[in-house]
Amino acid sequence: GLMKYLTEEQKKEFKPVAIEMKKGFGTFHHPLMVHGSYENKSEMSRRAFVINVFADGTVSNTDEELLTGVPVIPKGGKMQGKFFPLLYNP
């Protein structure tokens, strides 16, 4: 889990806060914010939809696959294409 990556100081400061969300609601947060969910104990499946948004001109910082099944964008290459579309162009 996460705790093995934290320093002792970070472990002392780590105080998770559970926020129950109503069906159909969503959340927005900074990409570096630690987040997650508890085990789904209901009989219903849980579905999620994720959108990662970043500024036009953002470039890849790796030559590795960013997402399973998504073509590699070489390090320094602009994030674009079918899986990283431009959402707004004024």
- In three state form, how does the secondary structure of the chain look? CHHHHCCHHHHHHCCCCCCCCCCCCCCCCCCCCCCCCCCCCCCCCCCCCCCCCCCCCCECCCCCCCCCCCCCCCCCCECCCCCCCCCCCC
Query: Whole-model pTM above 0.75?
Result: no
For the chain, give every domain's residue range. 48-90
Whether 77 has a pLDDT exceeding 90, the answer reads yes
pLDDT 10s digits, 31-65: 888 888 888 899 988 888 888 888 899 999 999 99
